[in-house]
Amino acid sequence: MTINKVAIVIHPQNHHASKLAEKVIQYLKEEGKDVVIGRVDEVDFHRNIQQQSHDVLIAMGGDGTMLRAGHISGPQNLPILGINLGRFGFLTEISQDEWKAAFERLFDGDYWIENRMMLDVAHWRDDMLLGEWDALNEGVVSRGDILRPIQLKIHINERHLSTYIADGIIAATPTGSTAYAMAAGGPILAPELRNIVLVPVAPHLSIEQPLVLDQSATVSITTRTEHKATLTIDGQDPIYLNDKDKIVVSVSKHTVDFIRFQDPGYFYRNLIPYMDQNPSIKDMDA
């Protein structure tokens, strides 16, 4: 793939991302590339990506920036290269000191594409579709501000599975299996798999074990609650749910393509060091 048009997306509150972006833009223009830049929360930038043809999206920030960049790039089949300026770096590919060498490899075609599935998450009230989103990590149906569990009626392929009394339930992708789903006791899945992971959160007298479903599965989650419940997509602002609202989860037609320079075994090599040296713990102790 010949790379001529480059889009750069940055976290709006990351000062280091803005400073690095200036250097990257100067380099890319010296290499004869067309460059556009925007913030992950900038509507006009999203519209530009939708309307214009680009060859690659460079995301500067942490894993949260990568998730939101995936929402931008997935529908456009636009590959992402992540430069890590955050803490974890599960999704990003290179450190902020490696970007120039990485771009040289990128322009030479010395990389491979890792394809990751997304979820389609739809919010229904009676027979009305209120909203539909792509999720790269997960969709979470959970209790709202009141510290009281909710009732969640689960169907898989229109067959009743179980009714949970719980704080919530997570429907995650393999990418999301190392995020909230893992913290709630779910399994870790290799990123290239195409499965839906269901993980209950603090179930009371209900099935505790997580489930790994085939990519053809459709999951419906019906809320029964006397107080507000919420739907959260990839950690973004909550969508409030009413009693008897239904969330339908299936594999999205969109995917996210990550540009990789490491060998395909990188995921297993990096997994344990990330857990043994949790960067958030270091941050809190500083």
Would the pLDDT of 182 be above 70?
Answer: yes
The enclosing H or E element of 139 equals: strand 138-143
Superfamily of domain 118-253: Probable inorganic polyphosphate/atp-NAD kinase; domain 2 (2.60.200.30)
Exactly one of 63, 167, 234, 257 is catalytic; name it.
63
Q: How far apart are CA 194 and CA 214, in angstroms?
A: 7
Would the pLDDT of 284 be above 50?
Answer: no
What pLDDT band is residue 280 in, cutting at 50, 70 and 90? low
Map residue 127 onto helix, strand or coil.
Answer: coil
The DSSP bridge pattern shows strands 219-224 and 211-214 to be unpaired
Locate all alpha helices (DSSP H) within 1-98, ordered by sequence.
Answer: 15-30, 43-51, 63-73
Q: How far apart are CA 105 and CA 102, in angstroms?
A: 5
Calculate the alpha carbon distances from 183 to 84, 86, 118, 144, 176 in Å. Answer: 22, 19, 20, 19, 11
Told to judge if 97 belongs to the known catalytic residues of this protein, a careful annotator would answer no
Please state whether 12 falls in left (phi above 0), alpha (psi between -120 and 50) or beta.
Answer: alpha
By the 8 A CB rule, do 13 and 56 touch?
no
Q: Provide the Cα torsion 32, 23, 257, 56; round to 10°.
A: -20
Map residue 17 onto helix, strand or coil.
Answer: helix
Q: What is the average pLDDT across 209-235? A: 94
By the 8 A CB rule, do 130 and 118 touch?
no
Would the pLDDT of 55 be above 70?
Answer: yes
By the 8 A CB rule, do 92 and 169 touch?
no
Q: Quick one: DSSP state of residue 4?
A: -
Would the pLDDT of 147 be above 60?
Answer: yes
Q: Tokens 């919420």 map to which residue?
A: 230
Would the pLDDT of 83 be above 90?
Answer: yes
Task: State the burial class of residue 76 (Cβ atoms within 10 Å of its Cβ: 0-12, 13-18, 19+).
Answer: middle
Task: Dig out the tokens for 208 from the structure.
Answer: 């505790």
Q: What is the average pLDDT across 115-129? A: 97
Mean pLDDT lowest for which of 38-47, 87-96, 226-235? Answer: 87-96
Q: How far apart are CA 27 and CA 147, in angstroms?
A: 52
The enclosing H or E element of 274 equals: helix 266-276
- Chain Cα centroid distance, residue 243: 27
Q: Provide the Cα torsion 270, 276, 277, 283; round to 10°.
A: 130
**Residues 65-80 pLDDT 10s:** 999 999 999 999 999 9
Question: pLDDT at position 272, please?
Answer: 72
Q: Quick one: DSSP state of residue 77?
A: T
Q: How far apart are CA 77 and CA 74, in angstroms?
A: 5
The enclosing H or E element of 79 equals: none
The enclosing H or E element of 223 equals: strand 219-224
- Domain residue limits, the chain: 5-111+261-285, 118-253
Superfamily of domain 5-111+261-285: Probable inorganic polyphosphate/atp-NAD kinase; domain 1 (3.40.50.10330)
Mean pLDDT lowest for which of 23-32, 82-91, 115-124, 189-198? Answer: 82-91
